[in-house]
Amino acid sequence: MNDAKLDQFVQQAIGDLAAGFGGVMVSLGHKCGLYRAMHNAGPLTARALAERAGCAERYVREWLNSQAAGGYVEYDSTGETYELPPEQAMVLADEDSPVFVPPAWEVPASVWFDEDKLIHAFRTGEGIPWGEHHHRLFCGSAAFFRAPYRANLASNWLPALDGVTQKLEAGAKVADVGCGYGHSTIIMAEHYPDSRFVGFDAHPDSVAAARENARKAGVDDRVSFETSTAKTFPKGGYDLVCFFDCLHDLGDPVGAARHAVDTLAEDGTVMLVEPFAHDRVEDNLNTVGRLFYCGSTTICCPHSLSEDVGLALGNQAGETRMAEVFRNAGFSHFRRATETPFNIVYEAKR
């Protein structure tokens, strides 16, 4: 036993425990309006923040101390004031920021509710369909993906595809498979008003939420949403078929890609957006990889194993395995079009 290594790992484990509680604090700060009240407000006492947010001072003071201990806010002992720096504000207070994080904590919160189902799945090898998870997973996942989609989809990802933006500007037909709450579909419709978009998802409650989101965004004249699986959505001669962070979740990704081939127009394109991953496990052993492997263990693989074939690619499958999926589905062209620290965008053609 190496005592120094033991002490180091104990500190690491306690840090992870503190981070788990930290997620609760972030969610409370978001839902109680505390971060918004601190945004651009300068140094505030606990009493002043409580008054601005309409909360009880004693709770706010203790919450502020947890935030200061975690480096989320800055504390000035001279005046006993707390301040939200602009960098933290982008992550915690600005809901239009590409790095806005608080709602994403709904995802691990949902997993705790599903712990008994996961234990059963571990012991039996059975799957857990997406729709059988706790409802906080659905809104949390949608919010987690919305920020990077809004930051990158129209400005970087679509332009990286060969000839796609020109088609969208002229008026294209687009299918968004596994659309969830419809954020990706709506973002495309906002930027390309002459095109028509259909979002498909197997989860009826998500489809209902997507329709409402489209109505609120004022794009429901060119966007529709339907309940359908990735292997049964209607053929329509689509110029673009999109899979946003969902293909690896499917039991039969090859079958879904093969169906996409059959639905494409002659010169159509598939855009595949996947979580960032290297091919080798050892190259994914970092903070982002840890986050994604956790999600893969509790959400992605369980859903895949609940469906026919049950390939269970996992969200860290990597480019080589994704290329193999599309080759087996009948595509002759597959390339990495662009990437961010959290996503890789692939282009596939017949």
Residue 214: per-residue pLDDT: 98
Residue of 41, 34, 39, 45 lying closest to 78 (CA atoms): 45
Rounded mean pLDDT, 29-34: 98
> Cβ atoms within 10 A of the Cβ of 69, count?
13
Rounded mean pLDDT, 232-242: 96
Rounded mean pLDDT, 246-272: 97
Residue 13: per-residue pLDDT: 97
- What percent of the chain is modeled with pLDDT above 70? 100
- Distance between CA 222 and CA 194 in Å, rounded? 8
Rounded mean pLDDT, 74-89: 98
As a whole number of angstroms, the longest Cα–Cα distance in the chain is 69
pLDDT band, very low/low/confident/very high, at 328 (cuts 50, 70, 90)? very high
Residue 260: per-residue pLDDT: 97
Residue 11: per-residue pLDDT: 97
> Residues near 314 by Cβ (< 8 Å), separated by ≥ 6?
248, 293, 296, 300, 301
- pLDDT tens digits, one per residue of 146-194: 999 999 999 999 999 999 999 999 999 999 999 999 999 999 999 999 9
Residue 84: per-residue pLDDT: 98
pLDDT band, very low/low/confident/very high, at 339 (cuts 50, 70, 90)? very high
What length does the chain have?
A: 350
- Distance between CA 34 and CA 283 in Å, rounded? 38
- Distance between CA 326 and CA 106 in Å, rounded? 33
User: Please, what are the domains in the chain?
Assistant: 3-94 (1.10.10.10), 104-349 (3.40.50.150)
pLDDT band, very low/low/confident/very high, at 311 (cuts 50, 70, 90)? very high
Rounded mean pLDDT, 220-229: 97
Residue of 311, 275, 320 lying closest to 293 (CA atoms): 275
Rounded mean pLDDT, 124-140: 97
- Distance between CA 325 and CA 168 in Å, rounded? 27
- pLDDT tens digits, one per residue of 18-31: 999 999 999 999 99
> Residues near 138 by Cβ (< 8 Å), separated by ≥ 6?
180, 181, 203, 205, 206, 209
Residue 253: per-residue pLDDT: 98
Residue 315: per-residue pLDDT: 97
Residue 64: per-residue pLDDT: 98
The overall average pLDDT reported for the chain is 97
